[in-house]
């Protein structure tokens, strides 16, 4: 893992050209993409490969980054009891916060009623577009979920890019290195160098982030447009408000209890938030968020465990989306969905929401799986939100990212693995980001 950045004076920070800041480049690229989407939708839709290529370039690095980071972090802990303690604290926090997200999502969609009065007749909708997503749905259940964590082969997890499977292998290898003791030192040194090499590749790939953001946002605006989505505007607008509410009312107090400002943390990771927003993928910034949280003062081993785990178990934005979209579909299709049904939905979502990592179009696939498991709302109704799914993803992915950043700082502080002086200095801008 790369070492934290060296201190930089305020003068040095002011001397850095504004146009060299990644967040500025991404913001300008997004503005150009929106302008192209409005002026020339036909050309804008052809920009999709730029966004897709950037996402693929980052995704190819995620498995080796998680493996090197987690294995090295556990090996350096040299204490399996501590690894277990950190994991248990993380899972307990994740379950509590995602349950709260699901409850808030359900309350918000019931108050806003975005689907009321639509009276949709499913026989008039072309549902063939959602067939590829429905076919990806898997069995819902504790046994099926746990079995999916175990890869078919050692290298299978890396080739498929399944985060949970890579994490599972990483933990096993980390424990094995602890048992080997001093004999494992050559391996840990190689992994440390390998991690630095992969993060070097990440820095190279991130130069293309503005192009990826431009292509992704141009495609979204060019293909769907704002006018064509007016009938679902209440759903999208309400969802954005719900995400902002969750960040302010839930994550804000959590950050305050940990002794730092959520606003300052958001400013610190603004580059990553903008990339998430443009590409609708939190995976694109996983390598950078690991580096940034370590530079913030969180211990390497804690970051290496919490962030990859959080990408599967702490998807706050995804939980808000699943709760909102499910009840919206019930409202739009006039499907009876009383409090009892919604409590049952909450229990189903507690499990299905944890399977969102490592699946293409994850949130949409899990939405289809949730409807299939519930058996009340027609699965074919997901076609109603297909057109706005990408717009909703532009809210849920940054929410996921912010939630995992807060969780990492919280658990690092809980484990006395947080340099609070550095945390304050970095967030206050006294040292380099």
Residue range of the domain that includes 26: 10-427
Establish if 2 belongs to a structural domain.
no
Residue 231: other Cβ atoms inside 10 A: 11
Contact in structure between 328 and 116 (CB atoms under 8 Å):
no
Contact in structure between 430 and 278 (CB atoms under 8 Å):
no
Contact in structure between 230 and 391 (CB atoms under 8 Å):
no
pLDDT band at 77 (very low <50, low <70, confident <90, very high): confident
Tell me how far apart the terminal alpha carbons of the chain are, to the nearest angstrom. 16
Residue of 284, 293, 275, 301 lying closest to 407 (CA atoms): 293
pLDDT band at 376 (very low <50, low <70, confident <90, very high): confident
pTM of the entire structure?
A: 0.79
Both tokens of 178, joined, read 């602890």
Cα 377 from Cα 381, distance rounded (Å): 8
pLDDT recorded at residue 11: 37
pLDDT tens digit string along 179-195?
888 888 888 889 888 88
Cα 395 from Cα 401, distance rounded (Å): 10
Coil, strand or helix: which one is 114?
coil
Establish if 1 belongs to a structural domain.
no
Cα 433 from Cα 269, distance rounded (Å): 9
Residue 243, pLDDT > 60, answer yes
Per-range mean pLDDT, top range of 6-20, 153-167, 245-259: 245-259
pLDDT band at 4 (very low <50, low <70, confident <90, very high): very low
pLDDT recorded at residue 256: 95
In sequence order, what are the residues at sequence separation of 6 or more whose Cβ sits closer than 8 angstroms to the Cβ of residue 47? 33, 36, 214, 215, 218, 219, 222
Establish if 23 belongs to a structural domain.
yes
Q: What is the DSSP string of 302-357?
A: HHHHHHHHHHHH--HHHHHHHHHHHHHHHHHTT----HHHHHHHHHHHHHHGGG-T
Residue 310, pLDDT > 70, answer yes
Both tokens of 226, joined, read 């704002």
Residue 340, pLDDT > 80, answer yes
Cα 212 from Cα 215, distance rounded (Å): 5
Establish if 395 belongs to a structural domain.
yes
pLDDT recorded at residue 83: 83
Q: What percent of the chain has pLDDT over 90?
A: 26
pLDDT tens digit string along 271-309?
999 988 888 888 888 888 999 999 999 998 899 889 988
Mean pLDDT, rounded, of the chain: 82
Establish if 354 belongs to a structural domain.
yes
Selected residue with higher pLDDT from 209 and 18: 209
Number of DSSP helices (H) and strands (E) in the chain, helices first:
23, 0
In sequence order, what are the residues at sequence separation of 6 or more whose Cβ sits closer than 8 angstroms to the Cβ of residue 163? 62, 66, 308, 311, 312, 357, 358
Residue 433, pLDDT > 60, answer no
Cα 214 from Cα 209, distance rounded (Å): 9
Average pLDDT over residues 7-28: 62
pLDDT band at 10 (very low <50, low <70, confident <90, very high): very low
Least reliable range by pLDDT among 34-38, 303-307, 428-432: 428-432
Cα 61 from Cα 202, distance rounded (Å): 8
Establish if 364 belongs to a structural domain.
yes
Average pLDDT over residues 55-61: 82
Least reliable range by pLDDT among 153-167, 186-200, 219-233: 219-233
Positions of E strands within 326-421: none
The DSSP call for residue 249 is I
pLDDT band at 408 (very low <50, low <70, confident <90, very high): very high
Least reliable range by pLDDT among 196-200, 224-228, 247-251, 311-315: 224-228
Instruction: Report how many domains make up the chain.
Output: 1
Average pLDDT over residues 212-225: 81
Residue 90, pLDDT > 80, answer yes
Average pLDDT over residues 31-53: 88
pLDDT recorded at residue 268: 95
Q: What percent of the chain has pLDDT over 70?
A: 84
Average pLDDT over residues 230-239: 80
H-type helices in 40-79, by residue range?
41-44, 48-77
Establish if 167 belongs to a structural domain.
yes
Query: Tokens 């919490």 — which residue?
Result: 306
pLDDT tens digit string along 115-130?
887 777 766 665 565 6
Establish if 433 belongs to a structural domain.
no
Coil, strand or helix: which one is 412?
helix
Tell me, rounded to whole angstroms, the distance of Cα 84 from its chain centroid: 24
Selected residue with higher pLDDT from 8 and 389: 389
Q: What is the CATH number of the domain that holds 316?
A: 1.10.3860.10
Selected residue with higher pLDDT from 225 and 228: 225
Residue 360, pLDDT > 80, answer no
């Amino acid at each position: 893992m790369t070492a934290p950045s060296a201190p930089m004076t305020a003068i040095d920070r002011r001397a850095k050209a504004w146009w060299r800041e990644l967040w500025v480049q991404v913001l300008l690229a997004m503005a150009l993409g929106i302008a192209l989407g409005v002026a020339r939708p036909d050309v804008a839709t052809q920009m999709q490969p730029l966004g897709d290529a950037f996402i693929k370039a980052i995704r190819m690095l995620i498995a080796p980054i998680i493996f090197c980071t987690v294995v090295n972090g556990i090996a350096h802990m040299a204490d399996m009891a501590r690894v277990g303690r950190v994991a248990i604290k993380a899972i307990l926090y994740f379950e509590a916060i995602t349950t709260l997200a699901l409850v808030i999502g359900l309350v918000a969609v019931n108050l806003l009623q975005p689907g009321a009065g639509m009276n949709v007749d499913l026989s008039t909708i072309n549902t063939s577009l959602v067939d590829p997503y429905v076919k990806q749905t898997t069995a819902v259940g504790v046994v099926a979920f746990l079995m999916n964590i175990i890869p078919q082969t050692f290298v299978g997890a890396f080739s498929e890019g399944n985060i949970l499977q890579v994490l599972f292998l990483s933990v096993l290898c980390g424990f094995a290195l602890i048992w080997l003791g001093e004999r494992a030192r050559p391996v840990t040194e190689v992994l440390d160098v390998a991690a630095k090499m992969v993060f070097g590749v990440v820095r190279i790939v991130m130069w293309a982030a503005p192009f990826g953001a431009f292509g992704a946002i141009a495609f979204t605006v060019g293909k769907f447009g704002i006018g064509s989505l007016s009938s679902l505007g209440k759903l999208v607008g309400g969802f954005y408000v719900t995400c902002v509410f969750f960040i302010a009312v839930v994550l804000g107090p959590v950050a305050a209890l940990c002794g730092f400002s959520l606003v300052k943390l958001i400013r610190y990771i603004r580059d990553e938030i903008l990339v998430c927003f443009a590409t609708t993928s939190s995976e694109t910034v996983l390598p950078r968020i690991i580096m940034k949280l370590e530079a913030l003062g969180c211990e390497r081993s804690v970051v290496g465990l919490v962030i990859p785990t959080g990408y599967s178990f702490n998807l706050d934005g995804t939980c808000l989306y699943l709760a909102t979209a499910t009840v919206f579909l019930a409202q739009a299709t006039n499907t009876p969905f009383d409090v009892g049904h919604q409590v049952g939905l909450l229990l189903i979502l507690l499990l299905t929401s944890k399977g969102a990592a490592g699946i293409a179009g994850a949130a949409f696939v899990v939405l289809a799986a949730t409807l299939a498991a519930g058996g009340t709302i027609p699965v074919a109704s997901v076609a109603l939100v297909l057109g706005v799914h990408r717009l909703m993803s532009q809210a849920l992915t940054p929410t996921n990212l912010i939630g995992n950043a807060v969780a990492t700082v919280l658990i690092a502080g809980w484990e006395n693995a947080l340099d609070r002086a550095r945390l304050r200095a970095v967030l206050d801008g006294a040292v380099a980001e």
